[in-house]
């Protein structure tokens, strides 16, 4: 089924293929991020190699200059470079899937999860390099006997993370590459670790919520006292006796979003235009009929999941309004007397 774009329906305030433009924008922002991370990680290894005559750290493992020139270490570096190129290509291809997705939530989620993939896959060759260099160092007997119980290499987990409770410094100079890193054993380091973990774990949660926004249908329900607009949760609960100026609409006015959700099949939140100022919207713009009304000084535009649901609510509200007017008119014409 072909999805209608906003410039083809009633509102007319969005132009072109929105999802495609979002993909182009995300690609323009994300691909440089991939390139920067890739170049920085590769440069750290190159900087280590270009320090002849000094003890150095490769993938978090201390080596002398002579050990760095060993053929087995050269082989580890060759495998690292090859794996980095492979990971780069895999990561670069992955988000192309987003350009074939007609749904905003799926496309956006692909890009967000791609960030997670970048920082996982590009570090995989470093973790493997750390294990391989340690294996070579053990097999060749390069560890000093005094280091076997407390080697400096043991403080570099996975070749990237420095964790040393005996080191009182929060920031330390990186043994390879440029700049400094944080000691994750210190309170500040643990706080940073928690922040990173929470940030990474929040990505799937955010993506899941956005997907639910697009695919979980909206509903309008009406009982004797309350009109309820629901999608996942009750978004609006409006007393029926506060509803005024009820109208059935075939076209929606032009407006722009202030806050909320703006998707092909869902408009929800606060919108505005020059005529009405700010107002609340809860509707599926792909429907053909909508209702508008005022309640407690606020203007609302709403619809149900489909036209049938919207019409059912409108007819019941209209009938309720007529009943209220009849009761009022009867009270005026035939006042009770003691």
List pLDDT tens digits, range 299-321. 999 999 999 999 999 999 987 65
Most confident listed range (105-109, 120-124, 130-134, 295-299): 295-299
* Mean pLDDT within 133-152: 76
Say which range, 3-12, 173-182, 203-212, has the weakest mean pLDDT.
3-12
- Residue tagged 């160092």 (tokens): 137
Instruction: Determine which helix (DSSP H) or strand (DSSP E) holds 33, and give its type and residue range.
Output: helix 18-49
Q: Per residue in 223-250, pLDDT tens?
A: 878 999 999 887 899 999 899 999 999 9
Residue whose C-alpha is closest to residue 277's, from 251, 296, 256: 256
State how far the Cα of 56 lies from the Cα of 70, in Å rounded to an integer: 14
| 128 to 8, 24, 74: CA distances (angstroms) | 53, 34, 14
Three-state secondary-structure class, residue 17: coil
Average pLDDT of the chain? 82
pTM of the predicted model over 0.75: no
User: Can you tell me the mean pLDDT for 204-223?
Assistant: 90
3-state SS, residue 273: strand
- pLDDT band at 218; cut points 50, 70, 90: very high
Q: Where are the beta strands (DSSP E) in the chain?
A: 56-58, 61-63, 156-157, 161-162, 171-173, 180-182, 219-222, 226-231, 233-239, 243-249, 256-263, 266-273, 277-283, 290-295, 298-302
């Amino acid at each position: 089924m072909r999805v209608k774009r906003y410039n083809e329906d009633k509102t007319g305030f969005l132009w072109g293929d929105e999802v495609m433009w979002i993909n182009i924008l995300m690609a323009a922002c994300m691909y440089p991020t991939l390139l920067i991370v890739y170049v920085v990680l590769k440069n750290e290894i190159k900087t280590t190699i270009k320090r002849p005559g000094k003890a150095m750290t490769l993938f978090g493992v201390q080596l002398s200059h002579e050990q760095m020139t060993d053929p087995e270490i050269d082989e580890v570096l060759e495998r690292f470079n090859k794996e980095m190129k492979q990971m780069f290509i895999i990561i670069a291809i992955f988000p192309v899937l987003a350009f074939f997705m007609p749904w905003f939530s799926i496309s956006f989620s692909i890009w967000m999860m791609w960030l997670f993939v970048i920082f996982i896959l590009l570090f995989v060759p470093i973790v493997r390099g750390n294990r391989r260099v340690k294996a070579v160092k053990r097999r060749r007997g390069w560890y000093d006997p005094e280091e076997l119980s407390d080697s400096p290499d043991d403080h570099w987990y996975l070749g990237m993370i420095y964790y040393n409770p005996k080191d009182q410094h929060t920031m330390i100079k990186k043994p390879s590459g440029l700049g400094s890193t944080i000691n994750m054993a210190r309170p500040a380091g643990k706080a940073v670790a928690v922040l990173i973990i929470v940030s990474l774990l929040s990505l799937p949660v955010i993506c899941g919520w956005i997907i639910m926004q697009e695919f979980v249908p909206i509903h309008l329900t009406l009982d004797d006292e309350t009109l309820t607009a629901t999608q996942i949760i009750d978004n609006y609960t409006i007393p029926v006796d506060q509803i005024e100026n009820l109208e059935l609409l075939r076209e929606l006015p032009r407006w722009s979003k202030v806050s909320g959700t703006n998707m092909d099949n869902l408009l929800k939140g606060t919108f505005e235009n020059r005529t009405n100022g700010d107002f609340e919207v809860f509707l599926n713009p792909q429907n053909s009929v909508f209702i508008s009304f005022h309640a407690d000084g606020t203007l609302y535009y709403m619809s149900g999941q489909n036209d049938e649901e919207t019409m059912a609510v409108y007819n019941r509200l209209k009938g309720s309004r007529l009943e209220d007017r009849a009761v009022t008119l009867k009270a005026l014409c035939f006042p009770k007397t003691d």
